[in-house]
Each structure stands twice: as C-alpha cells, then as structure tokens.
Structure 1
Amino acid sequence: MTYDHIVSDVDGPVCRITFDRPEHLNAVSVEMWEEFREALLAAEDDPDVRVVLLAGNGDAFCAGDDIQDIRDLASATEVLEYCEYIREASGTIERIATPVVAKVDGIAYGVGCEIAGLCDVTIATEDASFSLVEPKIGVSSLNGLFRFPDLIGTKPAREMMVTARTLDAAEAHRVGLVSAVATDDEVDDVVADRIDEIVESAPLAVELSKRLVNGEREGANEAVTVLANTFLSEDRIEGTSAFLEKRDADWQRD
C-alpha cells in the first residue's frame, strides 16, 4: 500500500515502517497517525511478517505531534476525540502481536519519545536524544503518564514529565527507555541482530508473550482526561503560539 506520510516496505519477515515527513522532522500529523496505525495492523495481518522495524527519514526519528494540529483544536469535543485517537493509534504498537523494533537516530521528542518507549526493542544511535517535551507547549504527555512509570520506573518517568528535559542516548539507556546504544557505523548491525533473534524464536511463543506483557493497563482513561484538560487550557494556546512564533512562552498562573 502507498502512503503519503510514511513508507511501509515488506522484505521477507520484516516490515519496515519509516516516518516520512523529514521537512517537519517527522512530526506526526493526524493523517500520519492514521497511516501509521493502518501500516501496523497490515503488518500484523501479514502471515509472513515476524517483526516491524520503525525508523525516521532524515535527521530525526520523530519530533512529536504536529503543533499546527494541536493549535487548531477548538472545541472540547475535538480535543477529546483527538486525545482518544492518539491513545488508540499509539497503543497499536503494543496491541499488535508482532514485535516492534525502533531504530532511533536523531531526536525523539514528545510522542516520538513515547513511540520509542512503547516499542518492544529500542536501539538508539549515540547522538539520539529523548524528551517528553509536551509541558513546553502547555500540555501533558499521554503514554508518558500511564505507560512510562511501568516501562522505565516511576522516578525517571516523573522527572521526564515535570522537567521536560532532554536525555541523551546513554542516559535513556540507563533508565531503561532504550535497549541498546550503538555507533552510527554499528547501529544497523545491532538492529539486524535483534531482528534475527526474534525471527529465530518460536512465533507463537513470541506473540503470546507480547500479548500477556502488553495487556491493557489501568490509567489510560485518566491520562486522556488529563491531556484533554491541558489541551483546553490557556497554557496550550500560549504554548503552541510561542512555539510556532519561536519565542518564550509567557505562562500565566491564576
């Protein structure tokens, strides 16, 4: 299938999905979310595909959600629908039985950081960087709220969410966000080794293990509510405006 914002290619047991908006640092628009979800489900439905590999085209893995989409949200209904859609689309990574491997080269910010964390295996280059940057534009994270405490531990997740600071690849590996770090020259070999190890494992055992480990967890609805409330705030309006206008945000506290 041909997409406008991603590239999906199947080569033997591997489906490679590439975020393909390099001019926007692979920021995820609403259309890109839909294509991404469709490609993941298509990979799961393909009996020959044993592994999905995620990567980004250009200088970034994924810079987060498209700020223009966020800024254009007007009504409470639009906000809630958008937030629930992000939860559904991003959660597809964990819901499909097919293991998903991320190759992170460059920045993985906001939802890009969350996508990297949700994957079953995450390999980063030495110059990759990670941040739950959402508070800088006046909103909360989503998967950061209800998945990262389980994935990387409560303390590191708390710090990432309240500081929005950037972790380099080594620190991301230390806190468990990244499975391994490799040089630019070695990263493709490390990714290939992990893929080979998955393919050489029993398919049923791999799929059932992933389904059990990634079962539905409490907190998803609450995280959507928190995100929706921040989207409806004056902070979101000021934060997204400041980002697009390339200036510091002027936060107001009543």
Structure 2
Amino acid sequence: MTDDTSGRVRLETDGPLARIVLDRPHKRNALNTHMLTELDDRLATVADSAEVRVVVVQAEGSVFCAGADTAEFAGLASETIRGRWTRLGQRVFGALADLPQTTVAALHGSAFGGGLELALHCDFRVAAPQIGLGLPEATLGTTPGWSGVSRVLGIAGPAAARMLALTGRTFSAQDALRLGIVDVIALTAESGVQQLVDDLLHTTPIAQSILKQALAHHSAPAVAGLLDSLAGAYLAEAGETIPTTTFRRSHS
C-alpha cells in the first residue's frame, strides 16, 4: 500500500483500489482552494494509474463534507467568485467524473452543498442510514455552483432536481434513496462500499471502462453506438470475452 499524507487530501492505494480521503475534519471537510487543488492533483495521479480500477472518495471525521468554505471568499465580488472559485470547482469535479476508473462516494457522514456536488460526480453513492444530504444554496441566496443541479438531472431526473434545489431541504439517506441520488444504504458506509467494491472488481477492466463511457451518454442510441463500436474489438483483443457455454451454465 502507498500513502500520500501531505496536505488536506490524502491518496491511499492498495492494488486495484484507491482511496481519496478528505482530511480537514475540524472544518467539517469544507472545501477551500487548497483542498480543491490537492484533490485535482490526486485525481491526476489516479487517472494515470494502470493498476487502479476503483476509486473511493471518503472523509475523516463525522461529516463527509459541509460544502464550500465560504470564509475563503467572504467579501469578494461576485464576479471574482464566479470567475475563479466556481470554475476551479467545476474543473476539478469534472476531472472526477471523467476518471476512467469507477468511483464510489462513501457517505459515512452528511454532505451539503459542494460536498453533495462532489459525491454526485462519483458513479455510486453509498450512505450510512443516519446521514443528511442537501443542496441548501437557495436558502442562502445563491445557487449550486459546481454542476450539482445538472448532475442530479442526469442521475435522478427533473423531479429530484426540483426537490433538492428549489426547497433547500435536508433529506435523510432513505429519502435520498427514494429520490435516486443514493444507490446503497448500509449499516455502515464502509460495509456497503466494501461489498460494492468487491462486485466491481469481479468484473473485467476493459468491459467496465467501455460500460462507463457508454453510460456517460444518456441517450439510448449513443449507448448502443458506443457498445457496438468499442466492445467487440476491445474485449476480443484483451481476451476478456465470456464463452457462451459459460454464460449458459451460470444461468441454467
């Protein structure tokens, strides 16, 4: 196992599994420029790894992430915030969404605002039952700035996006599961993450990569086109095709 413990965002790798850990618990892991920059660096390292197949995003302390550290930009003009802070977060979160590996947010604690937006840029969200989730920006006179609304639209549709963004409510893990923005609730987030990671690592790397690319395109024709153009050639070249007899045996 390797462990980069510098700064406020750690990267721990153990074979095919990498963990990106927010480590600012005394500030409820609120994201400032330094943390976003470190997160960007960790994502770049993971993206270049041929060994890592699954990336878990987690946090120290009792809260996953309270959102943006508003103290950093207090007093700044709105144009400055939009021009620097918003674009930085969008770029870094976009890098998370674009990772070739499958990503899992381990929500052992609550996630609000930018913290929930961070989790929404992962492929899966696993939550402990006692947590709260929300996009409270509208109650503070602003709007989610790191593509949170568009991520909810893509993941769970307009009804969920309206409920989260327009009300600013805090939702329980169970309500978030019903809305479609949480995939798994487990007694502990770690136990749910471990089961999901085991399942993901049971698949083959190239198949998983192709499917992730296909699922990033929401229209059915785009998905079918990607699968038709990539899957056969890539899987055959890698020797990862499953014999028909094996499939029939496992489903008989």
**Same-fold status (TM-score > 0.5):** yes
Larger gyration radius, structure 1 or structure 2: 2
Query: What are the residue-to-residue correspondences of 1:1-254 with 2, within 5 Å?
Result: 1-74=4-77, 76-142=79-145, 143-184=147-188, 187-214=189-216
Runs of 4+ that moved beyond 6 A: none
- Distance (Å, rounded) in 2 between the aligned partners of 1:216 and 1:85: 25
How many residues are paired up?
A: 215
Give deviations 1:15-65, integer Å, cap 9, x for gaps. 111111101100011110111121122112111111101111001000001
Q: How far apart are the structure 1 equivalents of 2:157 and 2:102?
A: 22
SS state of the match for residue 58, structure 2?
strand
- How many Å apart are 1:145 and its aligned residue? 2.5
Whole-angstrom CA distance in 2 between matches of 1:83 and 1:191: 30
Shift of the 179–80 alpha-carbon distance from structure 1 to 2, 3 Å rule, reads: same
For 1:3 and 1:209, locate their aligned partners in 2 and report how far apart those are by CA, in whole Å: 34
C-alpha contact (below 8 Å) 2:106/2:193 kept by paired residues: yes
Q: Confirm or deny: 8 A CA contact 1:94 1:214 kept in the other structure.
A: no
Residues 64 and 77 from structure 1, CA distance in 2 versus in 1: closer, same or farther, beyond 3 angstroms?
closer
Q: Which residues of structure 2 form unaligned runs of 5+? A: 220-252
2-side partners of 1:203 and 1:44: how far apart? 14
Give the aligned residue type for 2:130.
D
The amino acid of 1:94's aligned partner reads A
- Helix, strand or coil at the partner of 1:92: helix
Structure 2 length-normalised TM: 0.80
Deviation at 1:194, TM superposition (A): 0.8
Moved more, 143-152 or 98-107: 143-152
The answer to whether the 8 A contact 1:125-1:182 is kept is: yes
Alpha-carbon offset, residue 78 of structure 1: 4.9
* Sequence identity (%): 29
Distance 2:218 2:78 in 1: 29
The two structures have a TM-score, normalised by structure 1, of: 0.79
Distance 2:180 2:124 in 1: 11
Partner secondary structure for residue 74 of structure 2: helix
Whether the 8 Å contact between 1:73 and 1:79 is mirrored in structure 2 is: no
Runs of at least 5 residues in structure 1 that lack an aligned partner in the other structure: 218-254
Higher relative contact order, chain-length normalized (CA < 8 Å, sep 6+): 1
